[in-house]
Amino acid sequence: MSDVFTVLLLGGTDEARRLARALHGRPGLRVVSSLAGRVRDPKLPVGDVHEGGFGGASGLETWIRDNGVGAVVDATHPFAARMSESAVTAATRTGTPLLVLLRPGWQEAEGDRWHWMPSLEAAAEALPYLGRRVFLTTGRRSLPVFAGLDTLWFLARSVDPPEGPVPGHVRVVLSRGPFSVEGELGLMRRHRVDVLVTKDSGGEMTTAKLHAARELGVPVVIVRRPPAHDGVPRVESVAEARAWIEALTGQAG
């Protein structure tokens, strides 16, 4: 039997990279970070990396068994619902401990004009009643949902070029966070943005746009997160996730 305890870290987020760095080099511990491959030039974590996904829950189950995985940490994006579902299914089938590392969502502050929506489709339906010049920050795969809104103008920001149909009046900006409040204010003023659309991703890397919208009095359409799985332990910080792994492996510090 191997003396190495293998942790599969489903990543792609800043929290996943920080957790991989915190655990890297510990004796008797192997951390394999998995990246789905949806970003062309991802920020790679330290240590071993698995790229390209697993092929659904069955593929993940096979990978867990074949690689002797002792624990799985789901530190994917809050909206990576399919991957999280696969993690629950595969961990249950293999009897592997599973932890969800999920950053806290954003909280409204005084002066905010937030409109919560249950889906991207609901956000698209609400847009014509809230503004005409839209700052769209929901990811490159979301643009087809807004493609039919030809009376609106869009400033769409994503890391990679969008896929599929796009709105008739759109300017695409390719950029990766973190962003500054000053930079977001300049961008929104320059393009005369009068409504912002985003997902409740949480975290500090992209929160500047919310501060800018508050200062400018711009309404914000926010898509709610998918519901969390009941019965799966969940933490909000890298330190808590590290402590969970330490408890499993008998390590400390």
* 203 vs 63: which has the higher pLDDT: 63
pLDDT in tens, 71-104: 999 999 999 889 999 999 999 999 999 999 999 9
pLDDT of the residue at 41? 63
Of 138-142, 159-163, 184-188, highest mean pLDDT? 184-188
pLDDT above 70 covers a percentage of the chain that reads 96
| Phi, psi torsion values for 88, nearest 5 degrees | -60, -45
Q: What's the whole-number average pLDDT of the chain?
A: 92
Q: Where are the domains of the chain?
A: 5-104+227-249, 114-223
Going by pLDDT thresholds of 50, 70 and 90, the confidence category of residue 231 is confident
Amino acid at site 91: A
Answer yes or no: same fold for 5-104+227-249 and 114-223: yes
- Chain centre distance of CA 78: 5
* Cα–Cα distance, 37 to 228 (Å, whole number): 23
pLDDT score, position 1: 41
* Token pair belonging to 96: 């592997």
Strand-strand pairing, 133-136 and 195-199 = parallel
Residue pair 108/214 in contact (Cβ under 8 Å)? The answer is no
Phi then psi for 45, rounded to 5 degrees? -80, 170
Is residue 119 over pLDDT 60?
A: yes
**Residues 6 or more apart from 125 whose CB is under 8 A from it?**
none
Looking at the domain that runs over 114-223, which CATH code has it been given?
3.40.50
Domain over 5-104+227-249 is classified CATH 3.40.50.300: no
pLDDT, tens digit (0-9, with 9 covering 90-100), for 179-218: 999 999 999 999 999 999 999 999 888 899 999 999 999 9
Q: Which residue has the higher pLDDT, 221 or 36?
A: 221
DSSP 43-92: PPPSSEEEES--SHHHHHHHHHHHTTEEEEEE---TT-HHHHHHHHHHHH
12 pLDDT above the threshold of 80: yes
Q: Which of 131, 158, 129 is nearest to 143 (CA)?
A: 158
37 or 36: which carries more pLDDT confidence? 36
Is 90 exceeded by the pLDDT of residue 228? no
State yes or no: pLDDT of 253 exceeds 50: no
The answer, yes or no, to whether residue 37 has pLDDT greater than 70, is no
**What is the average per-residue pLDDT within 43-55?**
86
Please report where in the chains the tokens 């039919």 appear, as a residue.
Answer: 148
What is residue 216's predicted lDDT score, i.e. its pLDDT?
A: 97
